[in-house]
Amino acid sequence: MRAIMIIGDGMADRPLRELDYKTPLEAAKPEHMDKLASNGISGLLDPIAPGIAPGSDAANLSILGYDPWKIKGRGPFEAAGAGIELEARDVAFRCNLATVNENFIMIDERAGRIREEAGELAKALQNVQLRENSDIKVVFKQTLGFKGALVLRGEGISSNVSATMPNAGDRVCSVKPLDASSEAERTANALNEFVKISHELLKDHPVNRRRIAKEKPPANVVIPWSGAEPLIIQPFYEKYKLKAACIAGASLIKGIAKLSGMSVVDVSGATGDIDTDTMAKANAALRAIESNDLVIVHVEGPDEASHDGNIRGKISIIKKIDSMVGAIIDHVDLAETVVVLLADHVTSLRFRKHTGDPVPIAIASTEVVQDDVRQYNERATCRGGLGRIQGKHVMPLILNLLSIPEKIGG
């Protein structure tokens, strides 16, 4: 027995006025997801606990059975997913290429969602040397579009600084130490210096001159946020005795997989956005399940569309995930392979952020007693046989179906 877990990032939502108070999953009418739910047992899942709105780091770690409350920042996962080898005393940050004006006031946190051109800009940011904090080494890596990771390496640094993503209208370069230590002060200074240097290197870059000429926002600064020292997590294999592989475009998810010792399958065409090649992911999943006990297939696109308030985009990526689900369930034997479908959290199109609502989960297998749910969405799965469960229950449910239940007592 083995399992494939399909995660649509931020795929669940609330009812929307624009959709006659249907959710995007209801509006998309995903036939293969509905078939998956019809062939198994469904329910509602609180990724952490009722009413708690998780970041993707907390939600996905919770679903994999790790304690989400131990996470101090997503930076180390982003950096590991970007291919940076972390050292124990590093402080790692997620980064955005963003747009600021000449007074360092934030204009666009994602630089107009810059895509291909971001790679060219990133070349200018290789080998950045800090001048005032020259003993702190800087490693920057751009990942997908406006996203990237930054690692600070050196003696006497600390993650206890106020590195958050400034909102439009806020001043950047305003990272402050959060305690009285010299480490926190040095780190805050180093971050502000890095942001200033990134602006010097990017503001007149030919890519940005072209963007300005086309009236697109220039990606003229790098903003580090959500920093932390690397989190030590128990290797997935040691925890569950399952050989696991992960297929994802988003660096955060790749990083969670790497730091938990899963193998990461690179799929060309996995963009971490709504244009991702979901069929390539389905094929990669079907190949990977031949040599693994568990394959996780993560699709970031619904979350991106939701943060943009893009209703059509969200419905269209749900339909693409539906085709991927179809390609997977049509090629596996549910007597041998358990297929789990869930979202890691709700990302509300209306509010453009994560909320604390539960998400639908469905588990297809011949080993479960089928319930009467015939659709995969927030409303239909309310009536499912799983009832209402939490993120930490997902792995025990899977282990039980794989005939390796956690046992208690004699």
In the bound state with Zn ion, the residue whose beta carbon lies nearer, of 273 and 303, is 303
56 binds Zn ion (CB under 5 A): yes
Nearest-approach distance from CB 123 to Zn ion, in angstroms = 28
Task: Output helix, strand, coil percentages for the chain, rounded to the nearest 5.
Answer: 35, 20, 45
The count of other CB atoms within 10 Å of the CB of residue 381 is 28
For Zn ion, which stretch binds (CB under 5 A), given 55-63, 69-77, 149-157, 327-335?
55-63
Give long-range contacts, CB 8 A cutoff, 24+ apart: 208-212: 208/121, 210/117, 211/112, 211/114, 211/117
> CA angle, corner 142, sides to 8 and 109, nearest 5?
70
Tell me the C-alpha distance between 254 and 260, whole Å. Answer: 10
Tell me the C-alpha distance between 78 and 69, whole Å. Answer: 18
CA neighbours within 13 Å on the CB side: how many for 200? Answer: 9
Nearest-approach distance from CB 300 to Zn ion, in angstroms = 8
Terminal-to-terminal C-alpha distance of the chain:
25
In the bound state with Zn ion, the residue whose beta carbon lies nearer, of 9 and 357, is 9
Site mask, Zn ion, residues 291-320, x = CB under 5 A? ------------x-----------------
Chosen residue from 9, 109, 293, 322 binding Zn ion by CB under 5 A: 9
Give, as ranges, the residues between 340 and 359 that touch Zn ion (CB under 5 A): 344
In the bound state with Zn ion, the residue whose beta carbon lies nearer, of 154 and 249, is 249
Nearest-approach distance from CB 53 to Zn ion, in angstroms = 10
For Zn ion, which stretch binds (CB under 5 A), given 114-122, 223-231, 336-344, 390-398?
336-344
Tell me the C-alpha distance between 314 and 329, whole Å. Answer: 22
Tell me the C-alpha distance between 346 and 378, whole Å. Answer: 10
In the bound state with Zn ion, the residue whose beta carbon lies nearer, of 68 and 177, is 68
Residue 278: in which H helix or E strand, if any?
helix 278-288
Nearest-approach distance from CB 354 to Zn ion, in angstroms = 6
Locate 181 and state its tokens. 């230590």
Nearest-approach distance from CB 346 to Zn ion, in angstroms = 10
For Zn ion, which stretch binds (CB under 5 A), given 4-12, 25-33, 90-98, 174-182?
4-12
Q: Site size for Zn ion, by CB under 5 A?
A: 4
Number of H helices, E strands in the chain: 13, 15
Nearest-approach distance from CB 406 to Zn ion, in angstroms = 26
Which position's Cβ is nearest Zn ion? 56
Residues that bind Zn ion in the complex, under the rule CB under 5 A = 9, 56, 303, 344
